[in-house]
Amino acid sequence: MKIPVATEGSKPALHAVKYAVELLWSLSSTLNSITLISVHDDVGLRHAKAFVGKDAVADDLRELSEKELKPTRKRLDSAGVKHDMEVRTGPVAQEIVRCAKAGKFDLIALGAKVCGAIADLLLGSVAQRVLTMTGMPVVLVK
């Protein structure tokens, strides 16, 4: 089974990684793997790109992703779980779904952040967008 876990290092995201690991262990197959997906929405950085360049912004976001995922990657390494990392920029939910479809994953694991009802109503959540954009199974972990 191949599972992408969208994570940015938050507690709910770490819980999603833990859940994915436990699921893979329960399947006890050598073909299991986890892909950590880190997505940063770069829409608000258009002006920065104009001043410092597109490549500088991309490099900075990649460094940020690697820093955010370092503790998670250490945990997976110590647990002996096969994993890799996918770093993307753009609309977060769209990039998660694109990555999952391109990688032909079996299900998507996400950490569910608890927001206020008004914030969810006005803004929506990444998890809600992923659920509506994909036909794949999605596991939300608190």
Contact (Cβ atoms closer than 8 angstroms) between residue 110 and residue 141: yes
Which residues are within 8 A (CB) of 37 and not within 5 positions of it... i.e. 6 or more apart?
A: 4, 5, 6, 7, 85, 86, 88, 95, 96, 99, 100
Q: Where are the domains of the chain?
A: 2-141
Average pLDDT taken over every residue of the chain: 84
User: In this structure, which amino acid lies at residue 89?
Assistant: T
Show the low-confidence residues of the chain (pLDDT under 70): 29-30, 46-47, 49-50, 114-124
Task: Return the CATH class of domain 2-141.
Answer: alpha beta
CA-wise closest residue to 72 among 16, 131, 133, 137: 16
Cα–Cα distance, 49 to 55 (Å, whole number): 8
Q: Mind listing the pLDDT tens digit for each residue in 24-59?
A: 888 876 678 899 999 988 777 766 766 777 778 788
Q: What percent of the chain has pLDDT over 70?
A: 85
pLDDT of residue 109: 94
Query: Can you give the pTM of this predicted structure?
Result: 0.84
Backbone φ, ψ for residue 9 (5° rounding): 95, 0
